[in-house]
Amino acid sequence: MSKKKLILAVLFIAIALFCYKRWDAWFGNPPEPGYDIQHHPARVLLTVGPSESSRYVSWQCDSVRQPGWVDLCDTLGHDTLVYETMGQPFRSRAGVAAYFSVLLDSLKADTGYRYRIRVGQDTTDWMQFHMPPASNNFSFLYFGDVQDEVDDTAFDSLLPNIMAQNEDASFLLFGGDLIERPMDKYWEKVFSSLSSYAYTYPIVSVPGNHEYLKGVTRTLEERFPLVFPYYDMEAHDGNALFSFKRGDARFFLLDSNKDFWRLWSQRMWLEKELSACKERWKIVVLHHPIRSIKGSMNNWVVKQFFDDLVCKKGVDLVLQGHEHGYARFNVDSDSSKGMKEPLRLVSYCSRKDYMLQFHGDVAKWGTDDRYFQRISISGDTLSLSTFNSSLQLYDKLRIVKSQDHRQLVDEGKDIPEKIRVSDWFRANKKAKRVQEFEKNIEEWRRKNR
Ligand SMILES: [Fe+2]
């Protein structure tokens, strides 16, 4: 055998061994443990509908195809309407459960509603929600990845504290990786964490990679669109895409987990939606940061498909997650036209921290905490405040619009950054990785002194 052939053979064996070792990490799914299904209507979720005056309700009950109903009336008990639907059994890897959804439409602005769910002889207690007033001024909450383990209770206790201070939130928006894995026990965990907020406030989420089943081709596990029925996967060639209007803002939900050959149709959809958008504020939400905070080649494909489009089409804000660090990017602007690109934000609300390379043109970083945002739109101004898990203000800014001019006002730069290796990272990563992260932080400090 020639020397060249020998090198090629060794290289081939080395690559094969590497693929064999990494196969499960790339393509494998841990088995889903068996689970008991809900025999009564449970896991009720309220979410947005296709119009501002509509709401979807989804729930789970039993495992067979059978009818279910929602009784709806206003809080004074007037005008009870009955909506009928049919349960859709879904077989996961470890069991079968039936999912239901109903679209409540023609709801009146600034009106309180009561509703209950019936399946067979079972009826839930009455639940309530309030439709927001017909105003362009509103606030919502954004959470990056949560993906808690079953035994993690931090978000369970944090959420009521957050909601006590944000009762006026129009909805709660999640940036994907809401669950740790597509398994019943993690869905149970999410509903337990959301508690009564799941059926009181509209809950909205884009899919993250943890909602996917891995494989040579990744697949969004069907439980996700069954829980969030605003996704019409068939209408979008299997992509989880949705846009909805609230006041003078429109939200565009993307599915950045798809293999690259599926992202082209998402780009075309986004371009069409942005071109047709009549609302003043445009907010794009996707799981993978268009500009990574971990490395210049991370999410390279996502960047190629969406980065120019969000600039060209005047998107104001891009909300992202996945990389388990907090980063608010700098915004390119000039005095005549103001912001030439959207404000890009990466956030997370998880106990997991990933190592940061401090890559990217970032105005403010954050580590070792759970973060969330309160975002308010009031006429010409979008205000964004980031809080940590102690509900302390961590970052703050405003985008102010006047005709074609957008100006970013940074009110958060003087709030100290929290940059350190978390206890979770030390406990879960190898010593070499911890040292590398510490070194990255040292270098970042040196440069920013
Ligand atoms: Fe992720």
Q: What is the 3-state secondary structure (H, E, C) of 78-144?
A: CCCEEEEEECEEEECCCCEEEEEEEEECCCCCCCEEEEEEEECCEECCCEEEECCCCCCCEEEEEEC
Buried b (16+ CB within 10 A) or exposed e, 170-205: bbbbbbbbbbbbbbbebbbbbbebbeebbbbbbbbb
Q: Which two tokens stand for residue 133?
A: 């007033």
Any idea which of 124-128, 279-283, 353-357 has the lowest mean pLDDT? 353-357
3-class SS at 208?
coil
CA of 50 to the centre of ligand 1 (A): 26
Any idea which of 69-83, 106-120, 145-159 has the lowest mean pLDDT? 69-83
Q: Which residue has the tokens 């009181």?
A: 200
Q: Is the pLDDT of residue 32 over 70?
A: yes
Supply the pLDDT for residue 295.
83
CA of 223 to the centre of ligand 1 (A): 17
Give 8's pLDDT tier (boundaries 50, 70, 90).
Answer: confident
CA of 139 to the centre of ligand 1 (A): 25
Read off the pTM.
0.94
CA of 347 to the centre of ligand 1 (A): 11
Instruction: Please name the amino acid found at residue 307.
Output: D
Q: Are 26 and 70 in contact (CB under 8 A)?
A: no
Distance CA 317, CA 375 (A): 10
**pLDDT average, residue stretch 149-175:** 96
CA of 202 to the centre of ligand 1 (A): 22
Q: In what order do the strands lie in the sheet with 96-104?
A: 42-48, 55-60, 96-104, 88-91
CATH fold of the domain at 138-418: Purple Acid Phosphatase; chain A, domain 2 (3.60.21)
Q: Are 73 and 113 in contact (CB under 8 A)?
A: yes
CA of 178 to the centre of ligand 1 (A): 9
Supply the pLDDT for residue 233.
87
Give 7's pLDDT tier (boundaries 50, 70, 90).
Answer: confident
3-class SS at 431?
helix
**pLDDT average, residue stretch 53-82:** 93
CA of 424 to the centre of ligand 1 (A): 17
Q: How far is CA 375 from the centre of its chain?
A: 15
Distance CA 386, CA 384 (A): 7
Q: Are 388 and 410 in contact (CB under 8 A)?
A: no
Select 42-130's CATH number: 2.60.40.380, 3.90.550.10, 2.30.110.10, 2.102.10.10: 2.60.40.380
Q: Is the pLDDT of residue 404 over 80?
A: no
Q: Show me where the domains of the chain are located.
A: 42-130, 138-418
CA of 346 to the centre of ligand 1 (A): 12
Any idea which of 89-98, 156-165, 253-262, 368-377 has the lowest mean pLDDT? 253-262
Q: How far is CA 160 from CA 13, 195, 409, in A?
A: 54, 9, 30
Distance CA 207, CA 420 (A): 29
